[in-house]
């Protein structure tokens, strides 16, 4: 099984106060891919929390999303996985984007080189 740890951080999370930050990405791709994404966010309860992250091609096509159904106020940073992500043929990189319930998608994106 091939592993890839951490992609290229396009923008520093420190400059996006209040937005969700992507801390780390791990991916395994034996056939379909499983992504484990670590997020950090100052969750403030149900009115403001990290609520979703996506796997997207560099061309902008959404491949799959991981919805986060509750705040993680006492678990920061936290990691959640998403399996069964089918990568189109010829795609060697994807980006991870995350959002929170107050600000929407963070300006930060995380580029990941896929194993293979």
- The residue ranges of DSSP E strands in the chain, in sequence order, are 3-5, 8-9, 21-28, 33-40, 50-57, 62-67, 78-85, 93-100, 104-113
**pLDDT digits over 68-87, tens only?**
887 766 777 989 999 999 99
User: Above 70 in pLDDT, residue 13?
Assistant: no
Domain membership of residue 24 as a residue range: 3-113
**Average pLDDT score over the chain:** 83
**pLDDT digits over 47-71, tens only?**
788 889 999 999 999 999 999 887 7
Q: Domain total for the chain?
A: 1
**pLDDT digits over 17-32, tens only?**
478 889 999 999 988 9
Q: What is the CATH number of the domain that holds 44?
A: 2.60.40
């Amino acid at each position: 099984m091939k592993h890839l740890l951490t992609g290229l951080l396009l923008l520093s999370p420190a400059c996006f106060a209040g937005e969700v930050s992507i801390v780390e990405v791990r991916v395994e791709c034996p056939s379909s891919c499983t992504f484990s994404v670590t997020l950090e966010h100052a969750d403030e309860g149900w009115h403001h929390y990290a609520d979703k992250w996506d796997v997207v091609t560099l061309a902008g096509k959404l491949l799959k999303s991981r919805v986060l159904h509750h705040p993680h106020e006492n678990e920061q940073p936290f990691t959640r996985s998403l399996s069964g992500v089918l990568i189109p043929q010829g795609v060697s990189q994807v980006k991870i984007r995350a959002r929170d319930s107050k600000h929407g998608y963070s300006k930060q994106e995380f580029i990941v080189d896929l194993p293979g």
